[in-house]
């Protein structure tokens, strides 16, 4: 084998310069809107998507990466003598993981492995980046897979949404259901825990929610170093820039990536969502 390729999906919404630099392959999920299908991040970009979503009278639905999509990518990479490590969105959020497993099962005895990352967005992005950087240094499939699993306990992600209706209608609300009754009066604070969306608290105002967001990240990082940070947003670039600067001053990260919430993920969290993901101690 000539080396290892990391495959993830568009829910991570990794900046293109990083995927190109590290040779990460990204397979898009789909957004279905008024009978039209759009490949996430390909046919529809984040800013366009959220601008339209703000005034939409019909919310979009989403579709996982198909078995066929995974098989096409695996075939392509194996034909180039590559080992393949697939890191899809959490199986607790999407059927993409299950489809990746079904696809990989067709290649028994070949160097293909799928991991349930239990992550999404740039939290998943950090796992993919770490594995890809190891692959660039010559890591084998097993070594990179072991490293990906190890990163999980070093990664956290917290976010706040403007309106819980998107999570509720999309069926992705998990342990945050208890917040629905007061959704109009509060700004919820949420996290991805064990692959599902869970509530960790709430604030009376958006300003307080953002302050609490930073505090949760601070508590998650503790004294661990080095620190990698990503601030990502859904049509709220100004707030994202502000949070980036706060994180730079507070955590002195070796990496601080500005990204967006992918359209597929954004279908379930809505415009105005702001999030901070971190990886610390690796």
Report the C-alpha gap between 122 and 211 in whole angstroms.
20
As a whole number, mean pLDDT of residues 129-148 equals 97
CA distances in angstroms from 225 to 229, 279, 281, listed in the order given: 12, 9, 4
Centroid of chain to Cα 161: 15
DSSP per-residue string spanning 181-226: GGTTT-EEEEEEETTEEEEEEEESSHHHHHHHHHHHHHHHHTT-SS
Determine which of 43-52, 141-150, 179-188, 208-217 has the lowest per-residue pLDDT on average. Answer: 179-188
User: Which region among 26-30, 53-57, 83-87, 270-274 has the lowest average model confidence (pLDDT)?
Assistant: 53-57
User: 244 with 275: CB under 8 angstroms?
Assistant: no
Bridging pattern class, strands 227-233 and 255-260? parallel
The Cα–Cα gap between 249 and 40 comes to: 33
Sheet of 112-114: strand order equals: 25-27, 3-9, 82-87, 112-114
Q: What angle do CA 232, 233, 238 make, to 5 degrees?
A: 105
- Residue range 143-202, pLDDT digits in tens: 999 999 999 999 999 999 887 777 766 554 554 444 544 445 678 899 998 888 888 988
Residue 187 vs residues 145, 208, 227, 269, 272: alpha-carbon distances, Å: 37, 9, 27, 13, 11
Range 78-107 burial, b when 16+ CB lie within 10 A, else e: beeebbbbbbbbbbbbbbbbebbbebbeee
> Which position has the token pair 């059927």?
95
- What mean pLDDT is predicted for residues 133-142? 97
In three-state secondary structure terms, 55 is: coil
State pLDDT tens for residues 165-180: 777 665 545 544 445 4
242: CB partners within 8 A, 6+ apart: none
Q: Is the peptide bond before 210 cis (omega within 30 degrees of 0)?
A: no
**Which of 268, 273, 31 shows the shortest CA–CA distance to 157?**
273
Residue 198's pLDDT is: 85
The two three-digit tokens of residue 92, written as one number: 């607790």
pTM of the predicted protein model: 0.93
Give the residue-averaged pLDDT of 254-262: 97
Show the domains of the chain with their CATH numbers.
3-153 (3.40.50.10170), 154-280 (3.30.1180.10)
């Amino acid at each position: 084998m000539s080396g290892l390729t990391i495959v993830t999906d568009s829910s991570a919404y990794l900046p293109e310069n990083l995927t190109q630099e590290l040779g990460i392959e990204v397979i898009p999920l789909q957004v279905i809107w008024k009978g039209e299908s759009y490949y996430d991040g390909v046919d529809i970009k984040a800013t366009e998507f959220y601008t339209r979503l703000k005034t939409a009278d019909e919310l979009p639905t989403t579709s996982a990466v198909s078995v066929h999509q995974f098989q096409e990518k695996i075939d392509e990479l194996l034909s180039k003598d590559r080992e393949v490590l697939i890191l899809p969105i959490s199986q607790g959020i999407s059927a993409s993981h299950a489809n990746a497993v079904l696809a990989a099962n067709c290649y028994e005895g070949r160097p293909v492995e799928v991991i349930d990352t239990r992550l999404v967005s740039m939290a998943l992005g950090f796992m993919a980046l770490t594995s890809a950087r190891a692959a660039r240094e010559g890591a084998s499939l097993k070594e990179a897979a072991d490293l990906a699993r190890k990163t999980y306990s070093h990664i956290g992600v917290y976010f706040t949404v403007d309106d819980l209706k998107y999570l509720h209608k999309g069926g992705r609300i998990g342990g945050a259901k208890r917040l629905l009754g007061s959704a109009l009066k509060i700004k919820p604070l949420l996290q991805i825990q064990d692959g599902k969306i869970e509530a960790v608290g709430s604030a009376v105002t958006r300003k307080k929610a953002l302050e609490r967001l930073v505090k949760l990240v601070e508590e998650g990082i503790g004294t661990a170093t080095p620190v990698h940070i990503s601030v990502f947003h859904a049509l709220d670039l100004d707030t994202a820039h502000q949070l980036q600067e706060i994180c730079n001053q507070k955590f002195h990260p070796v990496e601080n990536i500005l990204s967006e919430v992918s359209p597929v993920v954004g279908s379930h969290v809505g415009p105005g969502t702001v999030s901070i993901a971190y990886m610390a101690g690796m």
